[in-house]
Amino acid sequence: MGTISEKILSAHAGKEVRAGDICIVPVDFMMSQDGTTGLTIKAFKQMAAKSIANPKKYAIVIDHNSPSPMESVSNIHKEMRDFASDQGSILYDVGEGVCHQLLPEKGHVLPGNVVIGGDSHTCTYGALNVFATGVGSTDLAAALVTGKIWFRVPSTIKFVYDGTLPEGTYSKDVILHMCKTLTSRGATYKALEIYGTVIDAMSVDARMTISNMVVEVGAKVGLMPCDSRVREYVRQRTNAPFKGVEASGSAIYERVIREDLSDLPPQVAKPHEVDNVVDVSKVAGTELDQVYIGTCTNGRLEDLKIASEILAGKKVARGVRLIVAPASRNVLLDAMREGYIDRLVRAGATVIAPSCGPCVGTCNGVPSDAETVLSTANRNFKGRMGNTKAEIYLSSPATAAYSAMLGHIADVREVQK
């Protein structure tokens, strides 16, 4: 009985819970990164705790400001390494990749799990049927100590995206469209379940782009079904047993939104809000100084493939900097093997370490005053990339690559005709 969230949380709580109920549940996996681990350790010490309940269920990832550009960051990284080795927990050091790529890629998160991370985009794993959500450092520290977390069971909005995406439109365009539909607060405190032929046709990589951004509409989690693609993705990465969780036929939804996306054009979010979304035609021609392809939203193998195909044998426009950050070392290796990196670099791209890169304004591509950036990331808040005087637009990797080639925002369907 119930929605996916209600069923996962009930199974973990050991009793039937419904939307609105409070429950305390064991956590299957936890993560924190270099922007949040410092405070997590601080909170951990404040709780007068000596050791972590399940050190093998906790990964510390050095990705946000990596490799370190300055002393203060190096010291934070050092503290993270020491904590990981003292506690016997998992450490992904410089160069391994972005946390939200690593957890699924390394087989740490399984369908039906409850996962929390000290990062708001932890909701990414919803694409793998995981009840995964971002928490602050104190909640995380409490879960490290007790192995548990409390939740108020969210009510659920169900999306059904019917039809087939047209050429030139991708999962990123779908989630930007959802941001426009719901607005940045349209799903506050809610879970989403996302279904439909559009989702069924997507790779797991592409689905993660959607679940990654559900926090941009305020959602706690963005769950998708555990179908054969998800099962295959997980089986290739771990031998651990798992069982997907389906919503029951009698599940109660707060709202059901059904839409046919067969005519959805490429979407772009304009500065300075993620829900400020328009069809690409409305912003076509906007001159660009920098294009960024990467992040936990769109730095996966499929993203690099799409971008490299558009740029194959072409050049990035004069005066435009194209920065590419593969989401992980494995993505980088695969992209090298497939020739994607070769094509991108020949086109003029600068490939940086698998990391968050300039997404959050820490290093590797902070724009200057009055510059305009097109990014495949998930946020375009003022100052997000480290300079409040820069303008950030968000798009799919295809739109980003094609726009980099032309030097202004452009409709990628032109190239695909």
CB of residue 198 to other proteins, shortest distance in Å: 26
Binding partner selected for residue 223 from other proteins, ligand SF4, none, CB under the kind-specific 5 to 8 Å limit: none
Show the site string, 83-102: x = touches ligand SF4 by CB under 6 A, - = not. Answer: ---------------xxx--
Question: Which residue number, 68 or 376, has a Cβ lying nearer to other proteins?
Answer: 68
Show the site string, 55-84: x = touches ligand SF4 by CB under 6 A, - = not. Answer: ---------x--------------------
Question: Which residue number, 87 or 362, has a Cβ lying nearer to ligand SF4?
Answer: 362
Q: H helices within 312-390, ranges in order?
A: 329-337, 340-346
CB of residue 136 to other proteins, shortest distance in Å: 4
Q: Kindly identify the residues of this chain, within the stretch 340-359, that bind ligand SF4 according to CB under 6 A.
A: 356, 359
Question: Which residue number, 221 or 347, has a Cβ lying nearer to other proteins?
Answer: 221
Phi and psi at residue 35, in whole multiples of 5°?
Answer: -85, -15
* Residues 293, 274: Cα–Cα separation, whole Å: 17
CB of residue 97 to ligand SF4, shortest distance in Å: 10
Closest CA to 161 of 146, 144, 133, 181: 181
Question: Which residue number, 121 or 413, has a Cβ lying nearer to ligand SF4?
Answer: 121
Closest CA to 397 of 319, 324, 321: 324
CB of residue 22 to other proteins, shortest distance in Å: 5
Which residues have CB under 8 Å from 285's CB, separation 6+? 408, 409, 410
What residues make contact with other proteins under the rule CB under 8 A? Answer: 22-24, 34-36, 38-39, 42-43, 46-48, 64-65, 70, 72-73, 76, 117-120, 122, 134-139, 141-142, 145-146, 148, 150, 152, 184-185, 188-189, 215, 218, 220, 273, 360-362, 366, 379, 381-384, 386, 388
Cα 336 to Cα 77, 330, 346: the distances in Å are: 28, 10, 13
Q: H helices within 31-158, ranges in order?
A: 37-46, 71-87, 99-105, 137-146
Phi and psi at residue 66, in whole multiples of 5°?
Answer: -150, 130
Question: Which residue number, 2 or 117, has a Cβ lying nearer to ligand SF4?
Answer: 117
For residues 350 and 379, is the Cβ–Cβ distance under 8 A?
no
Cα 97 to Cα 69, 297, 325, 340: the distances in Å are: 16, 13, 9, 18
Q: Answer yes or no whether residue 295 interacts with ligand SF4 by CB under 6 A.
A: yes
Binding partner selected for residue 118 from ligand SF4, other proteins, none, CB under the kind-specific 5 to 8 Å limit: other proteins
Question: Which residue number, 39 or 312, has a Cβ lying nearer to other proteins?
Answer: 39
Show the site string, 116-135: x = touches ligand SF4 by CB under 6 A, - = not. Answer: ---x-x--------------
Positive or negative: CA dihedral 96, 99, 100, 106 = positive
